[in-house]
Amino acid sequence: MSLGLQLPWQFLPGLLLCLCVGPWAEAGKVLVVPMEGSHWLSMREAVRGLHARGHQAVVLSPEVTMHVKAEDFFTMKTYAVPYTQDEFDYIVMDKIHLFFERIHFLTLFLETMAFLKNVSLVFQRSCEELLYNKDLIRHLNASSFDVVLTDPVYPCGAVLAKYLSIPAVFFLRSIPCNLDTEGTACPNPFSYVPRLLTMNSDHMTFFQRVKNMLYPLSFKCICQLPFTPYARMASDLLHREVSLVDIFGSASIWLFRGDFVMDYPRPFMPNMVFIGGINCANRKPLSRVCIGAFIQSMFQVEHIVLKNSLLP
Ligand SMILES: *[C@@H]1O[C@H](CO)[C@@H](O)[C@H](O)[C@H]1NC(C)=O
Ligand SMILES: *[C@@H]1O[C@H](CO)[C@@H](O)[C@H](O)[C@H]1NC(C)=O
């Protein structure tokens, strides 16, 4: 009986606090560290959505950019970088045509590696200008952000979140070299999760499984080049050994811009959320050419299905 009378009084201060703080507690302060190019175009829609729900977003960007530009639904905070717009455009855009040309495999491989090296260096320098900018870091630290929203393909945001001890939310289409499954300690069986560029499906023959195991080995080396500088920076700033898995494992939530309609099914962890469809925010009517190609492909599929179903 006495317990029944005491409890409401104990809860009253808490209830009052909730009532007072409630209306403001809903709005959060989000620090956005975007990845350039088309990656930003998807993230921009998510930031627009956050703003519409009353959250405050600050987008952190280098002064030299491709697509990241100021908008009225977020605050833009820029920092200086040691390269010009022309240099940036030249490095990022000048060799893009290589990927659409028919050239020898070895030439393509070497050119791709050179391209990757150049591009990684630009992003690495941009990140250094951000993380070692004492005034900017002090300002960000004092701004008490609730969360860092970032694309881990550019791991600078993840390192910054770790440095400022702010929870990170990753927003991505995918990341090579299984950094997502390693970061989330997610099972990733070779036997039915097809690896990048293998063209395998989730049903594999013995040799396809062997291919599925061998491909990631070569990618492991290629991934060292763009990603290890971030582990080095994190170790330097945090004064302890920080690995790539530590950086990628630090995210609270992974938001994948995919779903099991587009991708093959695979195991996932409770903090991996599939938000495929977010890229369809800007719906437009299909062009005649598009509809034509779609109908044609539908007929082909139907033809194949019919043909196969007639086979014994
Ligand atoms: C890489 O950068 C160097 C020096 O800026 C340049 O000469 C070379 O063409 C670039 N290569 C690629 C593939 O972007
Ligand atoms: C952020 O501020 C806190 C409290 O003043 C301080 O302890 C911490 O070292 C600061 N972090 C960075 C990265 O400057």
Residue 15 has a pLDDT of 53
Minimum-distance ligand 1 atom for the alpha carbon of 98: 13
* Residue 111 Cβ contacting ligand 1 at under 6 Å: yes
* Residue 136 Cβ contacting ligand 2 at under 6 Å: no
Residue 104 has a pLDDT of 83
Q: Is 28 helix (H, G, I), strand (E, B) or coil?
A: coil
Q: Is 156 helix (H, G, I), strand (E, B) or coil?
A: helix
Residues 6+ apart with CB under 8 A from 64: 81, 83, 84, 85, 88
Residues 87-108, mean pLDDT to the nearest whole number:
82
Q: pTM to 2 decimals? A: 0.82
Residue 16 has a pLDDT of 54
Asked whether the predicted pLDDT for residue 225 surpasses 90, the reply is no
* Residue 95 Cβ contacting ligand 1 at under 6 Å: yes
Q: Which fold has domain 26-189+222-281?
A: Rossmann fold (3.40.50)
* Residue 237 Cβ contacting ligand 2 at under 6 Å: no
Which DSSP category does 146 fall into? Answer: S
pLDDT digit string, tens, across residues 189-199: 999 899 888 88
Residue of 137, 122, 61 lying closest to 92 (CA atoms): 122
Q: Which of 107-116, 241-250, 303-312 has the lowest mean pLDDT?
A: 303-312
Asked whether the predicted pLDDT for residue 306 surpasses 50, the reply is no
Q: Which of 94-103, 173-182, 203-212 has the lowest mean pLDDT?
A: 94-103
Q: Are 51 and 57 in contact (CB under 8 A)?
A: yes
The two three-digit tokens of residue 48, written as one number: 């627009």
Residues 217-229, mean pLDDT to the nearest whole number:
87
Give, using CA atoms, the residue closest to atom 2 of ligand 2: 141
Asked whether the predicted pLDDT for residue 51 surpasses 70, the reply is yes
Give, using CA atoms, the residue closest to atom 4 of ligand 1: 118
Domain limits of the chain?
26-189+222-281, 287-312
Residue 310 has a pLDDT of 42
Residues 237-245, mean pLDDT to the nearest whole number:
95
Beta strand 168-172 pairing with 251-256: parallel
